[in-house]
Amino acid sequence: MNPLKWLIRIFLMLFLSRFSISADTITLDHFIKDNNDEVIVSSGKIFALGFFSPGSSRNRYVGIWYYQIPGKTVVWVANRDKPVKDTSGILRIDGRGNLALFQGNQSFPVWSTNISIEGVSNSFAEILDSGNLVLLQNDTRKAALWQSFGYPTNTWLSFMKIGFNLRTGLNQSYTSWKSPDDPGVGNCSFRMNPGVSPQMVLYKGSVPLWRTGTWTGKEWSGVPEMTQNFLFRDSFVNTDDEVSFSSDVRNASVIERAVINETGVVQRIIWSNEARSWISLTIPKEKCDLYGHCGPNGYCNPYLDFGMARIFRGDQIEGETKRVVGTYGYMSPDYFPDDMSLNLVGHVWELWKEGKVMEAVDSTLAKLQPLLFLFLTITKT
């Protein structure tokens, strides 16, 4: 055989072999550079790891996103509070075996997995089809030295946990971005509150917005949608070592995620191949879902307009109280009290009978009063 052809064949074999090994991994010999627009992709081409700029920002971050879904939907960010200001970023395995992000020629990393690794540094990082970025050693591939699922940002994927490892002290909670342009730690969080009856709580700052209620053994008491035919397979652990909850879709072909939004809501989002877009369910769904919305001893009915609440004292029940607190707007006829003056319709009717109906018109609509009066006169006759 021609020696030149033989050398070319050997070179191609070595090159392709190296490429196939490193397609989803970062090793001592294979790293990714921002200015080359390089990424690593999970073996099933589900997720990609690389550099990105959120929204209109020019700052650069290392993140994980869906590889085949348009729009670069980011589910995890490494250096969320430490952006790189240019495209000189390099993500590689450092001399201690950690996965680290460097800017330009700087010797100190911008971000690192920052764990203590014993023995010879032969570690590598791999992006999995679950969206989990793991740091492994060649001789202990079964045990992850570090994983991104242990350090979530604003997105909850299947098989991720929320809760506490009471043995290691690891707290797996979710925090919103500051804004669509800034993935830094925001003001809203979703976390497990441990105790005698653990439950998951959505916070804005230190103020609770919504909670799941306690675990009944099959579901969260405050999430009635969790029926026997629920879309997700859920697992709650409450032991001396761990208090956590995890959830994954029953149908592996379904792509879903939960996002803690900077506006203070949790969105459970499913990808629709037919619509080529995301379909979402938002929590809290209505005002009555808000934590403490009706106050102590309050009964909140979502069928009353504006989340109107009935507040009843200790010697009353919801069907017998007459005290209504809220906006006197529309309410279903089923909930009309005997005293019609307690609602807007009754109030306007009384004014109409007294010939004072225009008193119900907002003063800012004064110019329209003649037309309104004409309309009311026509409808009366």
Percent above pLDDT 90 for the chain: 41
State yes or no: pLDDT of 174 exceeds 80.
yes
Nearest 5 degrees, angle CA 136-CA 141-CA 143? 75
Quick one: DSSP state of residue 225? T
Distance in angstroms (rounded) separating the CA atoms of residues 298 and 71: 44
288 falls in which pLDDT band (50, 70, 90)?
Answer: low
More confident: 116 or 317? 116
State yes or no: pLDDT of 338 exceeds 60.
no
pTM of the predicted structure, to 2 decimals = 0.72
What's residue 345's pLDDT? 65
Nearest 5 degrees, angle CA 48-CA 53-CA 56? 140
Structure tokens at 364: 């800012």
What's residue 251's pLDDT? 79
Q: What is the mean pLDDT of the chain?
A: 78
Cβ-based neighbour number of residue 98 at 10 Å:
22
State yes or no: pLDDT of 101 exceeds 90.
yes
Establish whether the linkage from the previous residue to 284 is cis, with ω within 30° of 0: yes
Q: Who contacts 176 (Cβ-Cβ below 8 Å, separation ≥6)?
A: 154, 186, 187, 188, 189, 260, 261, 262, 264
The answer to whether 217 touches 237, Cβ cutoff 8 Å, is: no
Strand 99-103 relative to strand 32-33, pairing = unpaired
What's residue 26's pLDDT? 94
Distance in angstroms (rounded) separating the CA atoms of residues 143 and 137: 8
Residue for token digits 């409450």?
Answer: 238
Strand 74-77 relative to strand 232-238, pairing = unpaired
Cβ-based neighbour number of residue 239 at 10 Å:
9
What's residue 34's pLDDT? 95
What string of DSSP letters covers 307-331? G-EEE--TT--TTT---EES----B
355 falls in which pLDDT band (50, 70, 90)?
Answer: confident
Average pLDDT over residues 152-178: 93
More confident: 331 or 231? 231
Distance in angstroms (rounded) separating the CA atoms of residues 331 and 322: 15
Tens-place pLDDT, residues 231-258: 778 899 999 999 999 988 877 788 999 9
Residue type, 244: S
